[in-house]
Structure 1
Amino acid sequence: MELTFAGRVVEWRGPSPHYFVAVPERESADIREVAALATYGWGAIPVAATIGGTAFTTSLFPKDGTYLLPLKNAVRAPEGLAVGDEVSVELTVRL
């Protein structure tokens, strides 16, 4: 399953900061339809994603009926991303 969406970089402040892009409602609904085929536990969904010129693999985290796409420093730094930046995401759910 391939999806494209836009979202803002947000920060979650826990014991250490984590950065995410929220997957919009419509795309999250599409992901939920295949979640049982894709998840490897705890509701995490393995994906391949591209932001700008940076391709990476990670897992979506479920959050309040939608999903969060984690953004490691290895993605943020080369793309010059900061909290509040709007990004375009190409996402493939790895079934």
Structure 2
Amino acid sequence: MDADLDPELIRFLREELGHELPTGRNWTFSGPLWIWKGKVQDGKPSPVSWHFLTITGAVADGIKAAAPGRTAAWGSVYVKVRLGGTLWQTSVFPSKEAGGYLLPFKAAVRKKEGVGEGDVVTVELSL
């Protein structure tokens, strides 16, 4: 089981050699998409915004438990996600405020699946 492997060995195998380790970590969960907007500067709203799905509860706990050896910058965790017919690789980011993780949704995925702010989506996530 990969939980017994050294986290640096796991990182090396994934990043340097391109090998993915089997994890057996899969979750399906639902929630509403929401938008984070950049800070107002000089009285003007920021043009920067991101769509997210918040991950909490048992799913967030499972990601945290499986994260050693799979983390990147800012404590993000590499994941694979499926929404409808769209499969992509990204990272989830830890959020103290949410008490879990934030899953970003890029524009191409939202457009292909026809979803936006406030829509409740069901995703499959795996490590």
TM norm structure 2: 0.70
Alignment of 1:1-95 (within 5 A): 1-14=25-38, 15=46, 16-64=48-96, 65-93=99-127
Q: What is the distance in 2 between the residues matched to 1:7 and 1:92?
A: 17
**Deviation per residue, 1:37-60 (Å, 9 max, x gap):** 210232100011000111111000
- The alignment-based identity, stated in percent, is 39
The count of residues paired between Structure 1 and Structure 2 equals 93
Q: What is the distance in 2 between the residues matched to 1:19 and 1:27?
A: 19
| Alpha-carbon shift at residue 24 of structure 1 (Å) | 2.5
The unaligned stretches of length 5 or more in structure 2 are 1-24, 39-45
- Between structure 1 and structure 2, the one with the greater Rg is 2
Cα pair 1:50 1:89 within 8 Å, conserved? yes
Tell which has more relative contact order, 1 or 2 (C-alpha 8 A, sep 6+): 1
Q: What is the distance in 2 between the residues matched to 1:42 and 1:13?
A: 19
The unaligned stretches of length 5 or more in structure 1 are none
Q: Secondary structure at the match of 2:121?
A: strand
TM norm structure 1: 0.92
Give the letter aligned to residue 18 of structure 1.
W
Q: CA RMSD in A?
A: 1.0
